[in-house]
Structure 1
């Protein structure tokens, strides 16, 4: 007989720090896989209590409660199941109160649509959006030019629900199928369903593949107290679709490619250096990266993670795993470091660019 296991109890038992309740169904915690952000009060691991699953929006790790226990204990799921039974980390018997506390699971979400469909929908979607001045200032401050911000298709998310509904209505009327497109979902009112998309204050950062097609988006949030980025994802929404932990390509084919964390950082670093970059959403989200690098014609790869690499053991281990993976795939691999006053390679390149301008003047 199958037993259900409480994701919160398992996470606490594994020493995972639970930060806060994000919604009626989810809690935010510190991710044990990617080491999470430097601020101990920021977290990217979502624990879903209705499905007893976990998912890190930073590194892409996810799975069941049993899977979480197995991964961190480094055992298989059968052994994890036995240990959990012995420790009795199960759900309490169903009662009226417990049913109220644990909402019923929503309908299964959609599979992600093929890249061709996503690219078509997302480009039509972006055509209907604008870039607010405050977001443009943010991008220019990072070292991008006006032309580059337009070329990269950064757009602000509308805050008004009526505007989101209007945009989706137009897309549907233009024969774009929003089913299977991460970020879009349906709401129901008076027995009728209509399409909308997730509501966050921030701007969209497109993540492209080797062919320049838009795979999905990260959202650079305006309010960054708890986190700076989140996926444009409609996981756990009616007729919604989850985003994947996509790796991005920034630049064209090249024998030398630099790997860094974060698509916006890679956009800036590519613009300032003109080198081709591949961005990973988290230092552990490296599955399939060797295929992308081969498609780009890379021979020499530089790993350019943030400079907390020097002190963060989790990042060091992630770098070593990536290095090993790439060497086994036949690449010449190097680690790129810089003055630790500058956290990311984008910060370093921007400082160097400003110094050049001073010398010219």
Structure 2
């Protein structure tokens, strides 16, 4: 039998505390302050759950493994269980219940420091130029009230269904360094790649800084799963990957005396386009630290 602590070790997730309830570096948003909590036991019963109080990511040990490993489909939890069981028994070992004496080998993931806003924006702008927006996604955005010109102005794009390694290769050939760019990482073939899979396909929604640069992307999922409609384009917990840091997004005039606040990354763009008001969008109701700074 295994628990979420074993899965955390298997995935190389960095711990900040120990115990039956322990905090980690969030593998989804990259928070290092202990906002992500893993709970093995609650009220004397096995829980094996996680919750990040910064980005809102939550689930159990199987959803954790499936999401981080890009496993999708109706059998994804069966596949996750089988892979975890095999890896623990053949690799680092398996421990029972919530015994803290585990001494197996933990794989350390070599991550990068998140690159500067200037560098991220340059690469994201070039990536946008390489991608297109499907007619299905265009219609969905127009149904929200956006015009074709506004859709182009805010650089919405569809996630590519294949060729992510090729996109990374093109960027490198053009002289860009992908180290520290959230969403980019070294895959199992030791080639740069983008953390886009079948289960996180959707609309790439840029998050803008007050200076108008692209901080990162949220993905409006075509098919929500585990009650999630949005995911950050992030490569936390992947080799040479980097976390998105879940930035707030600003649209409008930074010199306005009044700036309105709403939740999300897509919503403030639509609200600004429809009203003309300036908006700050925070990724979640718990993510107020970046909001205060902005």
Superposed pair shares fold, TM > 0.5: yes
Q: Aligned residue for 2:187?
A: 187
Contact 2:49/2:61, CA 8 A, preserved across alignment: no
Residue 176 of structure 2 corresponds to 176
Report the alpha carbon displacement of residue 10 of structure 1 after superposing the two structures with TM: 3.2
Q: 1:93 to 1:204 in 2, by over 3 A?
A: same
Q: Tell whether 2:195 aligns with 1:198.
A: yes
> Aligned equivalents of 1:9 and 1:215: distance in 2?
28
Partner of 1:5: 19
2:249 is aligned to 248
Cα deviations by residue, 1:298-351 (Å, 9 ceiling, x for unpaired): xxxxxxxxxxxxxxxxxxxxxxxxxxxxxxxxxxxxxxxxxxxxxxxxxxxxxx
SS of 1:169 mapped into structure 2: helix
**1: CA distance between counterparts of 2:206 and 2:45?**
31
Work out the CA distance in 2 between the residues paired with 1:15 and 1:219.
Answer: 37
Q: Give matches, 1:209-358, under 5 Å.
A: 209-226=209-226, 227-253=228-254, 254-292=256-294
Aligned to 1:126: 128
Matched residues, number: 225
What is the CA–CA distance in structure 1 between the aligned matches of 2:279 and 2:45, rounded to whole Å?
33
Structure 1 residue 12, shift from structure 2 partner: 3.9
How far apart, in 2, do the equivalents of 1:261 and 1:188 lie?
36
What aligned pairs does 1:15-164 form with structure 2 within 5 A after superposition?
29=50, 33=53, 44-45=57-58, 91-94=99-102, 99=104, 104-160=106-162, 163-164=163-164
Distance 1:209 1:173, change over 3 A: same
Kindly indicate whether the alpha-carbon contact (under 8 Å) linking 2:55 and 2:246 is maintained by their aligned counterparts in 1: no
Query: In structure 2, the residue corresponding to 1:207 is in which secondary structure?
Result: strand
3-state SS of paired residue (1:218): strand
Pairwise CA distance, 1:128: 0.5
Cα 1:4–1:204 change in 2 (3 A) is same
Structure 2, unpaired ranges of 5+ = 1-15, 23-36, 63-96
Q: Which of the pair is proportionally richer in helix?
A: 1
Residue 110 of structure 2 aligns to a residue whose secondary structure is coil
Change (3 A) 1:146 1:9: closer
TM-score by length of 1: 0.56
Q: Secondary structure at the match of 2:250?
A: strand
Give yes or no for contact 2:38–2:50 (8 Å, CA) kept in 1.
Answer: no
Alpha carbons of structure 1 residues 34 and 124: separation in structure 2 relative to 1, 3 Å: closer
CA deviation map 1:29-48 (0-9, x unaligned): 456x4796xxxxxxx22678
Residues in 2 aligned to 1:157 and 1:288: alpha-carbon distance in whole angstroms: 26
Whether contact under 8 Å (1:183, 1:233) holds in the other structure is yes
Q: Provide the secondary structure at the position in 2 that maps to 1:223.
A: strand
User: Any idea what SS the aligned residue of 1:256 has?
Assistant: coil
Q: Is the 8 A contact 2:50 2:59 kept in 1?
A: yes
Rg larger for? 1
**Following TM superposition, by how much is the alpha carbon of 1:269 offset from its aligned partner in structure 2, in angstroms?**
0.5
- Residues 138-173 of structure 1: per-residue CA shift (max 9 Å, x gap): 11111111111100001111112xx11111111000
C-alpha contact 1:186 1:240 (8 A) present in aligned 2:
yes
1:4 is displaced (CA, Å) by: 3.9
* C-alpha deviation, 1:256, in angstroms: 1.0
Say which is worse superposed, 5-14 or 133-142, in terms of deviation.
5-14
Query: CA 1:179 to 1:215, structure 2 compared with 1: closer, same or farther past 3 Å?
Result: same
What's the offset of the Cα at 1:203? 1.6
User: 4+ runs of 1 displaced by more than 4 Å?
Assistant: 6-9, 14-18, 27-31, 33-36, 46-49
